Amino acid sequence: MLDISTLKGKTAIITGSTSGIGLGIAQGFADAGINIVINGFGSDEQIEEAVSSVKSCGVKAIYNGADMTKPEQIAEMVNAVAEEFGSVDIVVNNAGIQTVAPVTEFPENRWDAIIAINMSSAFHMVKAALPHMHKNNWGRIINISSAHGLVASPYKSAYVTAKHGITGFTKTVALEEARSGVTCNAICPGYVFTPLVEGQIADTAKARGLSEEEVINDVLLAAQWTKKFVTVEQLAGTALFLCSDAAENITGVSVPVDGGWTSA
Ligand code: NAD
């Protein structure tokens, strides 16, 4: 039987948790009794709804709007959380953006933003959080990578580059922290129907000359052998397992949750 009761009362910062996968993980963690820091952008109502839905599980929850392109805001958030909650136990590096375009037309500012948000922010978060984890000889770092951290697809050069970078960063941090009680792993989802995926359907249709329905069936789910979108609840469950004592000896791995995509 998987015991996650030891996670009760720990504190997790989940970047990009105002929507999609991050919000799903925040809800799963709050259900397990973990205090939550919601981060990301959104309307006042969206942020308020995210905070109150996790609070309804009886945990402490706050919002911090640190911009993942700004290293100083990331460090300030981590230190403010340590002060308010007394520790930073779990970090989920989840914030991410996407642009779909051929390399020859890829906008430079989108390349820079994707590398900053999807890759470099994980480095800044981990650098700021590790000293707090070391105080308790315990920590869990979970990087939300992607099947695109293991294999490529055309027209996603910046995203694939950033996610492959996360795979390497995950392994390196795992080795450096192997004896500190801190594990570092990545989760590599296939397609999850979130606003990020919804938003790229039209662009992919344009880039490939397909209808939006063809993009869903023949592009998004083409490689997903189960022919089912991954759910945020399944990702929250995977993240909780990686935080549990059962996963103490699992570190440096990239766990595909992709309906068989990267096995083919
Ligand atoms: P989403 O668009 O629903 O959520 C992205 C979150 O990141 C939002 O909360 C947004 O406000 C936040 N964010 C964006 N820029 C930010 C910034 N500068 N600073 C702080 N927060 C910022 O997307 P999602 O689908 O839930 O994706 C979450 C993560 O999962 C991403 O890293 C994405 O690459 C990864 N992923 C998604 C899928 C999928 O199919 N949806 C598949 C594999 C991996």
The response to whether residue 41 sits with its C-beta less than 6 Å from ligand 1 reads: yes
User: Do 72 and 184 fall within a single domain?
Assistant: yes
Q: Are strands 11-14 and 35-39 parallel, antiparallel or unpaired?
A: parallel
User: Do 57 and 19 fall within a single domain?
Assistant: yes
50 neighbors 39 (Cβ within 8 angstroms): no
Share above pLDDT 70 across residues of the chain, in percent, rounded to a whole number: 100
In sign, the C-alpha dihedral spanning 171, 173, 179, 181 is negative
Q: Is 11 helix (H, G, I), strand (E, B) or coil?
A: strand
For the residues 196-214, what does the mean pLDDT come to? 90
- Distance, CA of 143 to CA of 152 (rounded, Å): 18
User: Do 122 and 206 fall within a single domain?
Assistant: no
The response to whether residue 21 sits with its C-beta less than 6 Å from ligand 1 reads: yes
Q: What is the mean pLDDT of the chain?
A: 97
- What's the pLDDT score for residue 6? 97
Triad 186, 120, 176: Cα angle to 5°: 55
Distance 92 CA to ligand 1 centre (A): 12
- Distance, CA of 53 to CA of 198 (rounded, Å): 23
- What's the pLDDT score for residue 199? 85
Least reliable range by pLDDT among 26-35, 64-73, 112-121, 214-223: 214-223
Model pLDDT for residues 63-120, shown as the tens digit of each residue: 999 999 999 999 999 999 999 999 999 999 999 999 999 999 999 999 999 999 999 9
User: Do 66 and 188 fall within a single domain?
Assistant: yes
* pLDDT band (50, 70, 90) for residue 238: very high
User: Do 159 and 117 fall within a single domain?
Assistant: yes
Catalytic residues: 159
Kindly state the tokens that stand for 179. Answer: 């004896």
User: Do 167 and 253 fall within a single domain?
Assistant: yes
Distance 196 CA to ligand 1 centre (A): 6
Least reliable range by pLDDT among 23-27, 170-174, 211-215: 211-215
113 neighbors 120 (Cβ within 8 angstroms): no
User: Do 72 and 164 fall within a single domain?
Assistant: yes
DSSP 143-186: EE--GGGTS--TT-HHHHHHHHHHHHHHHHHHHHTTTTTEEEEE
Instruction: Report how far apart the first and last C-alpha atoms of the chain are (Å, whole number).
Output: 31
Domains held by the chain: number = 2
User: Do 168 and 72 fall within a single domain?
Assistant: yes
For the residues 34-56, what does the mean pLDDT come to? 98
Q: Is the pLDDT of residue 195 over 90?
A: no
118 neighbors 169 (Cβ within 8 angstroms): no
Provide the residue range defining the domain that includes 250. Answer: 5-192+231-263
User: Do 237 and 206 fall within a single domain?
Assistant: no
Kindly state the tokens that stand for 187. Answer: 């989760």
Q: Which residue among 21, 93, 166 is best mutated to probe the pocket of ligand 1, counting the most ligand atoms within 8 A of its Cβ?
A: 21
CATH of the domain at 102: 3.40.50.720
Q: Which amino acid is at 163?
A: K
Contacts of 77 (CB under 8 A, 6+ apart): 13, 37, 39, 64, 66, 128
User: Do 70 and 123 fall within a single domain?
Assistant: yes
- What's the pLDDT score for residue 219? 87
Radius of gyration of the chain from Cα atoms?
18
The response to whether residue 199 sits with its C-beta less than 6 Å from ligand 1 reads: no
Q: How many CB atoms lie within 10 A of CB 195?
A: 9
Share above pLDDT 90 across residues of the chain, in percent, rounded to a whole number: 93
User: Do 126 and 225 fall within a single domain?
Assistant: no
- What's the pLDDT score for residue 129? 98
User: Do 202 and 98 fall within a single domain?
Assistant: no
- Distance, CA of 124 to CA of 117 (rounded, Å): 10
- What's the pLDDT score for residue 84? 98
The response to whether residue 194 sits with its C-beta less than 6 Å from ligand 1 reads: yes
- Distance, CA of 242 to CA of 108 (rounded, Å): 36
- What's the pLDDT score for residue 247? 98
- What's the pLDDT score for residue 196? 77
Q: Is the pTM of this model over 0.85?
A: yes
Q: Is the pLDDT of residue 171 over 80?
A: yes
